[in-house]
C-alpha cells in the first residue's frame, strides 16, 4: 500500500497487566528454553528492573546461581538473540535489561497488540478486496452490487484495489491497515474515507468523495486489515488528525483500540491478501 507521512513519535511502555504475556511471546519468538524464558521474562518486568541478580535468583527460587543467571543465561543466551532481533547495545553496559525493555516496547509491542486485535477479529466474506480490473471500471466503482463471493487472497504488485464491506447494520467504521513492513495506518477516517458513519449496505472504500478511486498495492508481502465497527464513533483523539491525512499509528494508539474493544460494544472484521 502507499506510504503515509504523518507520524507521531512518542514514548511507550508495556502496561504491567500485559507485560508477562507480551514478554513470553517474545521469548517464544527468540526460541528460548524454559529456564531461560523465566529469567528473560522476570528480568524485564517493571517491578524487577532495579533488582540485582541475587534478588532475582532468590525471588524466582532458581536452581542456578546469580552469577550463572547473569553471565550464562542473560549474556550468552538472551542478549545475542535480542541482537539478532535488532536490539543494538554497547558491550559491557550496565542494566541492559532496562534498555532492552524500552526497545521491545517501541519496536515489538505494537505488533503484539495487532496480533491480539486480529485474534479477536472475525474472518468473514463480509469484507474483502477486489482488483479494480475485475470491477465494471473505475468510473463505476461506487455502484452498488451483490457482494463478491470470492475476494482476493493474492494480488499483483502495483495492482489497483478497492475494499468492500457488507454491513448488516449502520455502523461507525475505524479502518486499520498493517503494511508488509509492519507499519499500521488508519485509513478510515482519512482522505480515502472521510465519512465514518456507514449505512446498512455494501460500502466501498475509497469512498466516492475521496480524491483517489483505488488503493495501490506497492509493497511485496502480506497486507492485513481490521475494520472496527461500533454504534458510536470511538473517542480516540487521534481520529481528528487522521481524518485529514492517513495517520501512522504508534503502539499507544493500538493500546487505545485494544482497551476500547474490551469494554465497549464493538465488532472486528479481518481480511488479508498477499502482494506478489
**Does the N-terminal peptide bond of residue 4 adopt cis geometry, omega within 30 degrees of 0?**
no
**Would you say 66 and 56 are in contact if contact means Cβ atoms under 8 Å apart?**
yes
* Comparison of pLDDT for 26 and 11, the residue scoring more: 26
**DSSP letter, residue 192:** T
pLDDT of res. 60: 84
Q: Residue 149: pLDDT band by 50, 70, 90 thresholds?
A: low
What is the reported pTM? Answer: 0.87
* Residue (of 139, 27, 20, 112) closest to 73 by Cα position: 27
Rounded to an integer, what distance in angstroms lies between the CA atom of residue 72 and that of residue 66?
Answer: 10
Return mean pLDDT, the chain: 90
pLDDT in tens, 153-211: 999 999 999 999 999 899 999 999 999 999 999 999 999 999 999 988 899 999 999 99
pLDDT in tens, 97-129: 999 999 999 999 999 999 999 999 999 889 999
* Residue (of 103, 38, 46, 99) closest to 69 by Cα position: 38
pLDDT of res. 92: 83
Amino acid at each position: 500500500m502507499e506510504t503515509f507521512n504523518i507520524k507521531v513519535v512518542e514514548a511507550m511502555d508495556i502496561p504491567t497487566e500485559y507485560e508477562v504475556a507480551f514478554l513470553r511471546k517474545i521469548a517464544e519468538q527468540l526460541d528460548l528454553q524454559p529456564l531461560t524464558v523465566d529469567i528473560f521474562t522476570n528480568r524485564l518486568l517493571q517491578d524487577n528492573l532495579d533488582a540485582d541478580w541475587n534478588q532475582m535468583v532468590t525471588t524466582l527460587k532458581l536452581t542456578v546461581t546469580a552469577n550463572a543467571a547473569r553471565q550464562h543465561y542473560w549474556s550468552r543466551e538472551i542478549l545475542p538473540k535480542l541482537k539478532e532481533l535488532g536490539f543494538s547495545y554497547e558491550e559491557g553496559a550496565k542494566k541492559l535489561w532496562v534498555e532492552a525493555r524500552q526497545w521491545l516496547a517501541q519496536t515489538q509491542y505494537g505488533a503484539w497488540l495487532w496480533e491480539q486485535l486480529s485474534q479477536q477479529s472475525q474472518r468473514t466474506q463480509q469484507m474483502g478486496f477486489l482488483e479494480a480490473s475485475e470491477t465494471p471500471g473505475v468510473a463505476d466503482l461506487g455502484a452498488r452490487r451483490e457482494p463478491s463471493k470470492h475476494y482476493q487472497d493474492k494480488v499483483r504488485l502495483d495492482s489497483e484495489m478497492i475494499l468492500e464491506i457488507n454491513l448488516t447494520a449502520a455502523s461507525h467504521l475505524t479502518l486499520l491497515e498493517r503494511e508488509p513492513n509492519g507499519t499500521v495506518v488508519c485509513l478510515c477516517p482519512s482522505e480515502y474515507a472521510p465519512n465514518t458513519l456507514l449505512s446498512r449496505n455494501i460500502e466501498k472504500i475509497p469512498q466516492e468523495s475521496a480524491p483517489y478511486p483505488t488503493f495501490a498495492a506497492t509493497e511485496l508481502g502480506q497486507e492485513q486489515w481490521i475494520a472496527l465497527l461500533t454504534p458510536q464513533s470511538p473517542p480516540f483523539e487521534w481520529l481528528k488528525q487522521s481524518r485529514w491525512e492517513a495517520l501512522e499509528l504508534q503502539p499507544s494508539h493500538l493500546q487505545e483500540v485494544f482497551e476500547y474493544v474490551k469494554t465497549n460494544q464493538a465488532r472486528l472484521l479481518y481480511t488479508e491478501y498477499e502482494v506478489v
